[in-house]
Amino acid sequence: MQSRPRIPEATVARLAVYLRVLSSLADGGRGTVSSGELASAAGVNPAGLRKDLSHLGPCGTRGVGYEVATLRDRIAGVLGMETAHACVLVGLGNLGSALAGYGGFGSRGFEFVGLFDASPARVGQEVGGRVVRPMEELDEVVTATRATIGVIATPAEVAQRVCDRLTSAGVRSILNFAPVALTAPAGVDVRQVDLSVELQVLAFLDKQRGPAATVLTPAGGMA
Amino acid sequence: MQSRPRIPEATVARLAVYLRVLSSLADGGRGTVSSGELASAAGVNPAGLRKDLSHLGPCGTRGVGYEVATLRDRIAGVLGMETAHACVLVGLGNLGSALAGYGGFGSRGFEFVGLFDASPARVGQEVGGRVVRPMEELDEVVTATRATIGVIATPAEVAQRVCDRLTSAGVRSILNFAPVALTAPAGVDVRQVDLSVELQVLAFLDKQRGPAATVLTPAGGMA
DNA sequence: AACCGCTTGTGAACGCAGGAACAAAGTCGC
DNA sequence: GCGACTTTGTTCCTGCGTTCACAAGCGGTT
């Protein structure tokens, strides 16, 4: 078996990107794609794409390419997208509200089955078609809905406490937007998304590339 | 010279995390920290932290640790945080509005000097203390403010066009939240943040770890 | 003044990801 | 039916990131 041993995490992340491109192509009525075209649309190297796809067994036809619909379904299966994933979201400030209303989740099989906030002012409000609940109901909802994914969009100060409550309620995967490193028990996966870190990396690269950024186009011959 | 040759991108990302922890420690009145404690707070390996710090020259005292304030300032200098960075944000839907109102940027030297949206309904509205402008003014604002960073929070369909406009206006670093791979001219750095990809990686890890996730709590002690 | 413990900084080995080149295989044209 | 072209799948190799382990240096103590 080639598909079970282990798929590198970097490959999994790219598979999600390929899946999006393939879905788009399938909606456009496209029948087959070559690795070159698919790689171009995904922004990766063609050889790397083929290597990624090789992790899930041969799924292309030599001399022709990949069947769009078949490959899409195959990747979807590997990523576990055939079954919907129940998620709970904690913290409905600006970012949390944006996440609750983001359409990109629902269309990919992720459904927010519970929105929670500690602030009484937010509890009861409707965000993204769902009512915000108080933190007291978190454990109950997680247990009842079998939610396996928790999203933390709270201030940094309370993120660890929220993480503890989520894990003790049975959540096994956490996506954390709060700017703190979370400690979770073994068996729980935590992924960190830090927006300001991304900006700081950009600022560093900009500083390193050219200190004379403002003088970059002295005699601009730009069209 | 040790600081100029090159600092790995992964290290830069972690430096930003260290910086946050150090700022927090400094606010708490802490004088010195050991690599072990700092690594623990940042969620990384102590040896890796020391190696990261070694890229900016010796900055600790053996037998004692690192001087919090000194190290903080040093990292801030390397990351280019002594000077404020002007950013423009395009797309003020749910996510864009959240970004505009996110306090984590301003406190780290990133200022949104322009918010832009193509929708007339959003133009003129105030988000995060700033007025949303029409796309026509993008080039003018970028030129006038010398903005070097552009943030794209638009739908995927128009992201590439927005990217083209930003780069032609002089933006050299782009943070893209739209789920598409952007093509930018050489010399322009593009960083991709894809929220649904993060969720899909979590879902995959969850599926791989334990297929019996729903049967994990056979005798549920529901509250 | 010398010793001891603690912590940094560095050197080396391991593992992994990325890229390029090559062989296998299937299809289209003749 | 046969040959050539196209494209996949694989293999090798190079480079990077990460980790472990050790030597060097500083403070506190006796």
So what's the pLDDT on residue B6?
82
Mutate to test the interface with B, among A204, A209, A215 (most CBs of B within 10 A): A204
* B129 among annotated binding-site residues: no
Bridge partners of A190? Answer: A174
Helix and strand numbers (H, E) in chain B are 9, 9
Strand D: list protein residues with Cβ under 7 Å. Answer: A 2, 33-36, 46-47, 50-51, 53-54, 58-66; B 8-11, 44-45, 47-48, 50-51, 61-64
Mean pLDDT confidence for A183-202: 92
Q: Which residues of A touch B189 (CB under 8 A)?
A: 202, 205-206, 209
Place of tokens 């509250």: B223
pLDDT digits (tens, 9 = 90+) for A1-30: 344 568 999 999 999 999 999 999 999 999
So what's the pLDDT on residue B216?
39
* B220 among annotated binding-site residues: no
pTM tops 0.85, yes or no: yes
Please give the domain boundaries of chain A with CATH numbers for all domains. 9-79 (1.10.10.10), 85-196 (3.40.50.720)
Mean pLDDT confidence for A54-70: 93
What would the 3-class secondary structure string for B166-196 be? HHHHCCCEEEECCCCCCCCCCCCEEEECCHH
pLDDT tens, residue order, chain B (223 aa): 344 568 999 999 999 999 999 999 999 999 999 999 999 999 999 999 999 999 999 999 999 999 999 999 999 999 988 889 999 999 999 899 999 998 889 888 999 999 999 999 999 999 999 999 999 999 999 999 999 999 999 999 999 999 999 999 999 999 999 999 999 998 899 999 999 899 999 999 988 876 544 433 433 334 3
So what's the pLDDT on residue A206?
87
Cβ distance B191 to A201 less than 8 Å, yes or no, reads yes
Cβ distance A193 to B196 less than 8 Å, yes or no, reads no
Query: Which of A64-68, A86-90, A93-97, B217-221 bottoms out in mean pLDDT, i.e. has the lowest?
Result: B217-221
Per the CB < 8 A criterion, the answer to whether B173 and B156 are in contact is no
Residue A25, φ and ψ in degrees, nearest 5? -65, -40
Cβ distance B195 to A17 less than 8 Å, yes or no, reads no
So what's the pLDDT on residue A102?
87
So what's the pLDDT on residue B206?
87
Task: For strand D, give the nucleotides within 7 A of a protein CB.
Answer: 5-11, 16-21, 24-27
Binding residues of A: 91-96
So what's the pLDDT on residue B73?
96
pLDDT digits (tens, 9 = 90+) for A120-178: 999 999 999 999 999 999 999 999 999 999 999 999 999 999 999 999 999 999 999 99
Residue A55, φ and ψ in degrees, nearest 5? -70, -20
Residue B219 token pair: 């005798």
- A66, pLDDT greater than 90: yes
Cβ distance A201 to B13 less than 8 Å, yes or no, reads yes
So what's the pLDDT on residue A4?
53
Span CA (B48) to C1' (D29), Å? 32
Cβ distance B102 to A195 less than 8 Å, yes or no, reads yes
Task: Supply the DSSP symbol for A66.
Answer: E
The verdict on B28 touching A (C-beta cutoff 8 Å) is no
Span CA (A51) to C1' (D10), Å? 9
Name residues whose C-beta falls within 8 Å of residue A112's C-beta, 6 or more positions apart in sequence.
A87, A88, A89, A100, A105, A128, A130, A151
Proportion of chain A above pLDDT 90, given as a percent = 79
Mean pLDDT confidence for A197-214: 79
The verdict on A181 touching B (C-beta cutoff 8 Å) is yes
pLDDT digits (tens, 9 = 90+) for A117-136: 999 999 999 999 999 999 99
Closest nucleotide C1' to the C-alpha of B64:
C7
